[in-house]
Chains A and B, each alone.
Chain A
Amino acid sequence: MTLVSVALVLGLALGQHVPAPDNHAHGHPTADVHAAPAPAAPHGGGHQATLPETMMHHVANGSVMELPGFCEGGFKWNCEIDLVKATGGGWKFQVGKVTIDMTPSKHVVMMLLSAALLTLLLVVAARKRSIVPHGLYNFVELLVDFVRGIAISNIGKADADRFVPYLCTAFFFVLTMNLLGLVPFMATATANISVTAALALFTFFITQYAALKSMGVKGYLGHMTGGVPPSLAWLWPIMIPVEFLGLFTKPFALTIRLFANMVAGHFVILALLGLIFAVSVWVAPVSVALALGIFMLELFVAFVQAYIFTMLSALFIGAGLVHHGHDEGHDDDHGHAATGEAVHASHAAGKSPGHG
């Protein structure tokens, strides 16, 4: 989380150096984020975006992709592809009073691209599997075995293999989206809270399903009292809301952790590069060197966050499955789950310096 605060402080500091966009009309907060151009290539309209605006524009979702290519009669680094125009737009439907807009955005495209790449890579690799592994399959198998190790240590040997395909998919999908976000001209789909929330919901549902299946409805509801026996039933009005909230804090933590970490890295890189425009061109060597360092860190973080997402998913699933047959373990289970989480949180912090 330190990177997030660093990013925000840097952003604020830069915001003071650059004139505020007083003449620019913001109709809706999200309406024209993609109208803000990159600082290096000012838009024709004569409007200079502030650095925070540019940074937000870079990280946020949008309906315009900017890719290098030939357009408007020549080569440009930021040829705009308007996805609303390209798809015809208006892929909307109504659920009750909520309108759901399914028109593909930048992050949808990145996500589909990741999924396609991943499918291609893994299916090709899996076709070459053999008892004596080699080449691409060997590498894929290494990662699968790594995830399987996470599953076995958090869920237990007996049940782990049922969840390995889900955990592997989560790991590879998050990893691919994280890494694609580091490729120039691409965007980070995992730096979008809507994406990470949907991913965390899968873990949530699988956790609840696994817990229900292993404990039964009665055991599941019994767990909601936090292991407080009926003799202390007057504590239940406190315990039950706490336990109920506990169900949702886990996927919420998954959502925010992945989202914030991916946003933070990009913010720091952008802020460092933004110093060149905000301060002087003479800070460029330092800025670029630091940004490069952060970029290397981001490569590492891409793996670490995929690992943490997978590991915490496995941990939650494993905690839901806990029933070792000993009855006094009810109370124990709880202590175990709570300390387990605490341990793993610190573990996660240790694994990602500055990202815990």
Chain B
Amino acid sequence: MNALASPVIAAGIMDLNPGLSLWTAITFLVLIGVLWKFAFGPITRMLAERETTIRDAIDSARTEREEAEKLLAKQKEALAKAQRDAAELAKRNQQEMEAFRVQLTAQARKEADDMVAAARKSIQEERKIAVAQLRAEVADLAVSAAARIVKSSLDEKTQRQLVDEYIKDLPAGRA
């Protein structure tokens, strides 16, 4: 052991040198102070700050996403409702239109029927009037024919023949 350790001891690398230790202590102490103030303190704070920043960012992103999802769901619901409403409205509109059309058609038909009936009635009346007028005319014509026959002073035989012919020529159906 002695032989093994002797070169080590000889070179004094196992000696404790108080001066060197004191130098180390002073250097280390100053280094701790300086680096604490100017490097590690600020860097540690920065690390903590970044941690907080990232956590906050993640939290707020999550909240925002949740909100956005909620909003999206609401929007989707609103859209669906609007579509449903629109469809319903269109359907109802169509029904109303149909009803209106039916009503309008019925009315038009009724009016047309009324008009036809009125026309028929007036034609009937016109016809009555015309028949009455005709009848009066025919009587006049008969009288005038009689007068003419009388004027021409025909014999009796001829006169009769004429009257008969005349009457025969008169339209049937007369009352």
Segment of B12-20, B71-79, B110-118, B149-157 in the binding face:
B12-20
Does A166 sit within 8 A of B, measured CB to CB? yes
Contact A111 B24 (CB under 8 A): yes
Measured between C-beta atoms, what is the minimum distance from B138 to chain A in Å?
A: 124
Q: Which of B18-49 contact A (CB under 8 A)?
A: 18-25, 27-28, 30-32, 34-36, 38-44, 46-49
- Work out how many contacts link A and B, with CB atoms closer than 8 A: 162
Partner of A29, one of B10, B19, B24, B42: B10
Contact residues in B for A140 (Cβ distance below 8 Å) = 39, 43
Contact A202 B28 (CB under 8 A): yes
Q: Which of A123-168 contact B (CB under 8 A)?
A: 123, 125-126, 129-131, 140-141, 144-145, 148, 161, 164-166, 168
Known: A131-B50, A140-B43, A165-B44. A56 touches B21 (CB 8 A): no
Contact B20 A194 (CB under 8 A): yes
Known: A29-B11, A56-B10. A141 touches B16 (CB 8 A): no
- B positions within 8 Å CB-CB of A: 3-4, 7-25, 27-28, 30-32, 34-36, 38-44, 46-50, 53
Partner of B22, one of A59, A100, A144: A100
With an 8 Å Cβ cutoff, the count of chain A residues facing the other chain is 64
Partner of A126, one of B20, B43, B48, B53: B43
Segment of A101-109, A300-308, A332-340 in the binding face:
A101-109
Measured between C-beta atoms, what is the minimum distance from B43 to chain A in Å?
A: 5
Secondary structure of the B contact surface, majority rule: helix
Known: A115-B27, A165-B36, A169-B36. A144 touches B20 (CB 8 A): no
Contact residues in A for B46 (Cβ distance below 8 Å) = 129-131, 141
Contact residues in B for A118 (Cβ distance below 8 Å) = 31, 35
Known: A131-B50, A263-B13. A122 touches B39 (CB 8 A): yes
